[in-house]
């Protein structure tokens, strides 16, 4: 029997509850489809930092490298560890070390979920550059604490990085409706964003079946609210994609439905799958976290592993659950009840 080795990193807060929920659903789906999943859990988290002084051990990346995929819950517990320390100690190094350059986030309404927009027929796939750009981490501070203190943080856009994320976007568009929206701010940022637009234009002739349109980030934010049905695949830099995907989560009814994949398209290293929501310390002990975003992320993992039928079965089970009104109102059902409904729908 075919079997996949999955690294489980539940992390902090509700990350633990939703990873547990997603894993139950994944195991059930795997059994139904006739393949195995072997999960290995890692305790890396802010609690681990408090115990050991590090979010993950020095050989953490080496440990993860041998797995087929990583399923991650959430990272961050700001009351104990500053967010910039926890994120730069666990989530961000994994994305960068494995060059998970394509952060893929689907935004559409599940049946029975009422979003904030009047328009309800939309299906947007956001592709966020995940390794460089505004989050490259190039910068510094001088004259710390003094009145002349200076902080600089420089965006880094490489031809390699821009080209590969755009190609990924073109390829996704080709598989969907053939429409690609490329997001920049080239009217104001005249180096990096003009460069991005130029690379987009240079690649376009290689994808004659894709219609590519460039938008500025501010106009795109408005468009996602006013005319989300006009969009299909949206490709953006790290910062812009980060912001647009929280907007995408909002229009799909909330962060409880926002799934994501951090993909290594050439499969030279494991990809990582995680819900977009964070650790949510405010509700972490209540058992009311919506596991749907994590379960959907798990379905994306199976799709990436080539188990399309099992991925489709999970998506159908999620839809059947929300269509019955379960998991559609924040906090109404417990995490366990929503999970049980998805498992029941899976059969």
Closer Cβ to ligand IPM, 249 or 299, answer by number: 249
Closer Cβ to Mn ion, 269 or 276, answer by number: 276
**Buried-state track 34-57, b at ≥16 Cβ within 10 A, e below 16:** ebebeeeebebbbebbeeeeebbe
Q: How many residues bind Mn ion (CB under 5 A)?
A: 1
**H or E element, residue 42:** none
Task: State the Cα–Cα distance between residues 158 and 166, nearest whole angstrom.
Answer: 12
**Is residue 224 a contact partner of residue 115, using CB atoms and an 8 Å limit?**
no
Task: State the Cα–Cα distance between residues 201 and 214, nearest whole angstrom.
Answer: 9
Q: How many CA atoms lie within 13 A of 326 on its CB side?
A: 20
CB 139: neighbour CB atoms within 10 A? Answer: 11
Residues 86-115 interacting with ligand IPM (rule: CB under 6 A): 87
Q: Is 129 in the site for Mn ion (CB under 5 A)?
A: no
**H or E element, residue 313:** helix 308-323
> What's the min distance (Å) between Cβ of 148 and Mn ion?
33
Closer Cβ to Mn ion, 37 or 259, answer by number: 259
Q: Is 276 in the site for ligand IPM (CB under 6 A)?
A: yes
Angle at 35 between CA 30 and CA 38, to 5 degrees: 80
**Is residue 287 a contact partner of residue 91, using CB atoms and an 8 Å limit?**
no
> What's the min distance (Å) between Cβ of 87 and ligand IPM?
4
134, 242, 303, 333: residue in contact with Mn ion (rule CB under 5 A): 242
Closer Cβ to Mn ion, 129 or 242, answer by number: 242
Residues 32-71 interacting with ligand IPM (rule: CB under 6 A): none
Closer Cβ to ligand IPM, 29 or 75, answer by number: 75
**H or E element, residue 294:** helix 292-304
Task: State the Cα–Cα distance between residues 324 and 219, nearest whole angstrom.
Answer: 36
Residue 224 structure tokens: 């996602």
Task: State the Cα–Cα distance between residues 107 and 8, nearest whole angstrom.
Answer: 25
Q: Is 17 in the site for Mn ion (CB under 5 A)?
A: no
Distance of CA 81 to the CA centre of its chain: 23
Q: Is 134 in the site for Mn ion (CB under 5 A)?
A: no
Task: State the Cα–Cα distance between residues 275 and 214, nearest whole angstrom.
Answer: 28
Per CB under 5 A, the segment of 48-56, 86-94, 206-214, 234-242 that binds Mn ion is 234-242
329 binds, among Mn ion, ligand IPM, none (CB under 5 to 8 A by kind): none
Q: Is 242 in the site for ligand IPM (CB under 6 A)?
A: yes
Closer Cβ to ligand IPM, 28 or 105, answer by number: 105
Q: Is 274 in the site for Mn ion (CB under 5 A)?
A: no
Q: Burial, 151: exposed, middle or buried (Cβ in 10 Å; 0-12, 13-18, 19+)?
A: exposed
Closer Cβ to ligand IPM, 194 or 239, answer by number: 239
Closer Cβ to ligand IPM, 242 or 307, answer by number: 242
> What's the min distance (Å) between Cβ of 60 and ligand IPM?
17
283 binds, among Mn ion, ligand IPM, none (CB under 5 to 8 A by kind): none
87 binds, among ligand IPM, Mn ion, none (CB under 5 to 8 A by kind): ligand IPM
User: Which residue has its beta carbon closest to Mn ion?
Assistant: 242
Q: Is 289 in the site for ligand IPM (CB under 6 A)?
A: no
Residue 273 structure tokens: 């799958």
Contact footprint for ligand IPM (CB under 6 A)? 87, 242, 276
Contact footprint for Mn ion (CB under 5 A)? 242
């Amino acid at each position: 029997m075919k079997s996949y080795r999955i690294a489980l990193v539940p992390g902090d807060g509700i990350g633990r509850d939703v990873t547990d929920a997603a894993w139950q659903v994944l195991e059930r789906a795997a059994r139904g489809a006739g393949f195995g999943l072997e999960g290995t859990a890692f305790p890396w988290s802010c609690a681990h930092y408090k115990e050991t002084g590090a979010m993950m051990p020095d050989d953490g990346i080496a440990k993860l490298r041998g797995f087929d995929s990583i399923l991650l819950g959430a990272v961050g517990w700001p009351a104990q560890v500053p967010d910039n320390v926890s994120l730069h100690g666990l989530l961000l190094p994994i994305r960068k070390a494995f060059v998970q350059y394509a952060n893929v986030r689907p935004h559409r309404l599940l049946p029975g979920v009422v979003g904030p927009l009047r328009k309800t027929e939309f299906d947007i796939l956001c592709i966020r550059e995940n390794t460089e750009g505004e989050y490259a981490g190039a910068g510094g501070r001088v004259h710390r604490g003094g009145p002349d203190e200076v902080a600089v943080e420089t965006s880094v856009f490489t031809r390699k990085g821009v080209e590969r994320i755009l190609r990924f976007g073109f390829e996704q568009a080709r598989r969907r409706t053939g429409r690609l929206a490329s997001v920049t701010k080239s009217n104001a940022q005249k180096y990096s964003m003009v460069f991005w637009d130029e690379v987009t234009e240079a690649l376009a002739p290689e994808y004659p079946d894709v219609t590519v349109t460039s938008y500025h980030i501010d106009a795109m934010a408005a468009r996602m609210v006013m005319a989300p049905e006009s969009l299909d695949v949206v490709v953006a830099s790290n910062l812009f994609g980060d912001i647009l995907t929280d907007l995408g989560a909002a229009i799909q009814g909330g962060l409880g439905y926002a799934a994501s994949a951090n993909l290594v398209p050439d499969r030279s290293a494991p990809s990582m799958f995680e819900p977009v929501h964070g650790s949510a310390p405010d509700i972490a002990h209540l058992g009311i976290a919506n596991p749907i975003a994590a379960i959907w992320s798990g379905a994306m993992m199976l799709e990436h592993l080539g188990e399309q039928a099992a991925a489709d079965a999970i998506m159908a089970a999620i839809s059947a659950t929300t269509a019955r009104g379960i998991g559609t109102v924040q906090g109404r059902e417990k995490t366990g009840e929503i999970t049980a409904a998805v498992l029941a729908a899976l059969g």
